[in-house]
Structure 1
């Protein structure tokens, strides 16, 4: 892939010695970030208290309603893009027009969480330097960091010149289908941008902050195997063959033996077979019935695989299809792939953005951030624009226990993430 737009932005890309001191506006950003803790916490608690599970359409819209005034106060125009056609609430898009010709920045976050109204995890609790609550880190904490960074820029006078488009999706945790409709607005924004900045959580390992310049893909698949049914005494005979369950077991074990390679993971998360087998409408359950003395005519498995580049995605998919097509005697099988998240491959432009952030870290007296191993985090919305624009992920706060009832966001990480993001956007807009 050839990148051209960033090549026209020498202030962004050219390596240079770190500044001896930060500028006067940047000092104002630092002060605003340090002074905004109470406001940030109040907004975060308000957002987390509102359930916005992906399928809770009204809940997602209520979070939107809380955020629209926040963006409006910063001079952003906002619009809501409904996603009724894919069974989701919609996306909030906020736009700030700055000085013509300066870097066009796309900021990415999301309104939804994995915790639907049926989840027992609904309450928010302050625990010292942590806030325990559904979505506190993923991604309501990230949205709060984004807004706090923009407020700090406004306080310092650097927001006025910045060209920024914000896309907050309402279904990041379970994208609506078809994906090409669900992510059309995000992709269009990516094509308009010069830089994409994703405000999902900061990864901290053993006290070390990491920058994310790559995220792997995520794609689901369903394997259905079939065979001839008969009395179990005829199993493996030329007339009956091996049955659907052995065919499915062959495929799964062949995946285990033949697919492994760097940056690839693949998993079977659901499996069943018997005289009957079928998936539920939401494909989260499978029911089966049978007897031990009956050769099963059907078996079903669902899984996912994750890869780092589109070339790897295509190559692994072809290998999986070839394995499925081999077949045991008197059996058949097919694999169906579901649209998912594309990869955000590591690129020189992504690395240069992290280099720019590390120059800021040096100026702020913060530790250098190495590039995170992409195996350490899941897929995300920034991947949908990665083929069009260079980007950096992980600008939200640090958290632990994401997607579980133990989700806790680290409130001490907010000031440094706000400073990093605000100074980065300020320098990109110059």
Structure 2
């Protein structure tokens, strides 16, 4: 008898929860949900088609082929589309920009067409697991899963009659994985689209079903070069010979570590180091060479590293401390430090957290879990980082979740595709009113 009563309580509780969930979604939102559920097989098939087109960043024709497939969908939805091409010398595809003019808030949607897998990679095709719960393939979450999330979000909005008055710009960059330099050119179209936007939504993949990205660390690179007086090794440390370039560089690097290693959110890594009589780095091939002898005091060193930071203020602080460290050189040596910006930070701010709260409410209304912000230290830079400073509020990680991004184990949890599409469609529909 007690078991029957407990069972009845559980059933009534479930019905109560379902009623509460449904009460938080209006009839228009139910139309969005029903459309996405009805077309989830079509969405997965589109993902398969896109994944089976190689679009490694260096494969410009492949990237553009993916873009043209996406462009057809956007044209059919009434967007005005155009390619913003890069100079031929930059060797990368440009950005596909789609605009839909309307009243109200302007929403910027960001995705990318390229993957990290070149045309000669053995990882080339979409594979659905026998139980149909997961799928593998190049870009299946990063970022072709994001592309089909965007497209079916817009299709659902169009079906519900919400798109006709929408003020939306979509930018699909062609080289997010390795942005062509200078980014003042390769990200110009994205920056221009952001200038008068109110909200930016990034559709990079999510690390988990209950996480979104409200902040990302920025990235810069640094070059440390050292100079010493060449001479016979038997004379090192003597007044006339000094300590040599390698000892000077070791001093600087160790001081970097002791001074900056315990600052939350800040990391700096010397990725390559060269030392000897001559040094040379090929930054295009990520290789280097050095020549010298063990019996000769090193005359030159070169270190190439990166710096990751939570804000511009933190970046400036770190750079200043690093410069100060280089100024107290060892005997008859010198150090020079050069910084180059790569990706700005996407700082945490209250407006981003407000968007997170809205998405969390939507997730709960859909029967899912509440959403949390992933630590900015766990996510690197992305295209949204270039424009976060121009918009009032931004959020990323709105694409599907899975595992193994940037590896041949890249895997999508299939159920996540319709779920994140519903979240995005409902959020956008609420901001079109």
Q: Which residue of 2 aligns with 1:124?
A: 126
Higher helix share: 2
Paired residues in the alignment total 409
Counterparts of 2:62 and 2:314 in 1: how far apart (Å)? 38
> Does structure 2 conserve the Cα–Cα contact (< 8 Å) formed by 1:78 and 1:93?
yes
State the Cα deviation string for residues 37-94 of structure 1 (Å, max 9, x = none).
2211211112112221212222211111111101111111100011125442100001
User: Gaps spanning 5+ residues in structure 2: where?
Assistant: 1-19
Query: Per-residue deviation at 1:145?
Result: 0.7
Q: Which residue of 1 aligns with 2:66?
A: 63
Q: Which residue of 2 aligns with 1:83?
A: 86
Q: Which residue of 2 aligns with 1:140?
A: 144
State the Cα deviation string for residues 121-172 of structure 1 (Å, max 9, x = none).
3233222322211111111111111111111111222122211001111111
Q: Which residue of 2 aligns with 1:200?
A: 204
> Does structure 1 conserve the Cα–Cα contact (< 8 Å) formed by 2:21 and 2:366?
no
Query: Per-residue deviation at 1:19?
Result: 8.6
State the Cα deviation string for residues 15-45 of structure 1 (Å, max 9, x = none).
xx99933111100111112122221121111
| TM superposition score normalised by structure 1 | 0.91
Correspondence list, 1:19-418, <5 A = 20-84=23-87, 86-98=90-102, 100=103, 102-127=104-129, 128-204=132-208, 209-260=210-261, 261-282=263-284, 284-389=286-391, 390-418=393-421
Which is higher, the Rg of structure 1 or of structure 2? 2
Counterparts of 2:306 and 2:341 in 1: how far apart (Å)? 11
Q: Which residue of 1 aligns with 2:6?
A: none
State the Cα deviation string for residues 351-373 of structure 1 (Å, max 9, x = none).
11111112212322221101211
Between stretches 79-88 and 346-355, larger displacement belongs to 79-88
Q: CA separation of 1:377/1:210 partners in 2, compared to 1, >3 Å: closer, same or farther? A: same
Root-mean-square deviation (Å):
1.7
Counterparts of 1:22 and 1:190 in 2: how far apart (Å)? 30
Query: Per-residue deviation at 1:339?
Result: 2.3
Counterparts of 1:349 and 1:281 in 2: how far apart (Å)? 39
Counterparts of 2:134 and 2:336 in 1: how far apart (Å)? 47
> Does structure 2 conserve the Cα–Cα contact (< 8 Å) formed by 1:18 and 1:359?
no
SS at match of 2:272: strand
State the Cα deviation string for residues 354-403 of structure 1 (Å, max 9, x = none).
11112212322221101211112111111111111110111001121111
Counterparts of 1:354 and 1:93 in 2: how far apart (Å)? 26
Query: Per-residue deviation at 1:224?
Result: 1.5
> Does structure 1 conserve the Cα–Cα contact (< 8 Å) formed by 2:143 and 2:205?
yes
Q: CA separation of 1:28/1:141 partners in 2, compared to 1, >3 Å: closer, same or farther? A: same
Between stretches 412-421 and 19-28, larger displacement belongs to 19-28
User: Gaps spanning 5+ residues in structure 1: where?
Assistant: 1-16
SS at match of 2:409: coil
SS at match of 2:380: coil
SS at match of 1:277: strand
SS at match of 1:273: strand
SS at match of 2:330: coil
> Does structure 2 conserve the Cα–Cα contact (< 8 Å) formed by 1:223 and 1:336?
yes
SS at match of 1:218: strand
SS at match of 1:39: helix
> Does structure 2 conserve the Cα–Cα contact (< 8 Å) formed by 1:18 and 1:360?
no
SS at match of 1:383: helix
> Does structure 1 conserve the Cα–Cα contact (< 8 Å) formed by 2:56 and 2:119?
yes
State the Cα deviation string for residues 100-119 of structure 1 (Å, max 9, x = none).
2x110000111111122243
Q: CA separation of 1:283/1:339 partners in 2, compared to 1, >3 Å: closer, same or farther? A: farther
Q: CA separation of 1:361/1:106 partners in 2, compared to 1, >3 Å: closer, same or farther? A: same
Query: Per-residue deviation at 1:302?
Result: 1.3
Q: CA separation of 1:169/1:329 partners in 2, compared to 1, >3 Å: closer, same or farther? A: same
